[in-house]
Amino acid sequence: MTTDPTAIQAGLRRLGEAGCPASEVARWVMRETGDDEVRVFQLMVHFFRAYHLSVRTLRELELWEGLGAGGPTTDAELDALFGPLRVRETPLS
């Protein structure tokens, strides 16, 4: 468990390079930070810093069932919306 942003970004990059789907990566962030009820904004920030994703796409996380808020978007739907995660060559700080 960590709250170190550098360690989280390194993990996100590794998972993206390994071809993991967005739902799996999001759950990893939740486990890694020890926060099963991670705030959606924090999750969007982590994804934005690590991957080439538009804000519009990131907003789809708000409706994801994995956050436990009863959202209608399934893992498969989220993965399809996000597509293959493209890692930023130079991470945002």
pLDDT along the chain (93 residues), means of 10: 85 97 96 77 93 95 90 96 94 63
pLDDT of residue 37: 59
Domains of the chain, residue spans: 5-82
Q: Which has the closest alpha carbon to 76: 21, 8, 16, 13?
A: 21
Nearest-angstrom CA–CA distance, 20 and 11 = 11
pLDDT of residue 3: 76
- Greatest Cα pair distance, the chain, in angstroms, is 35
pLDDT of residue 69: 81
pLDDT of residue 93: 61
| Two tokens, residue 2 | 């960590």
pLDDT of residue 61: 94
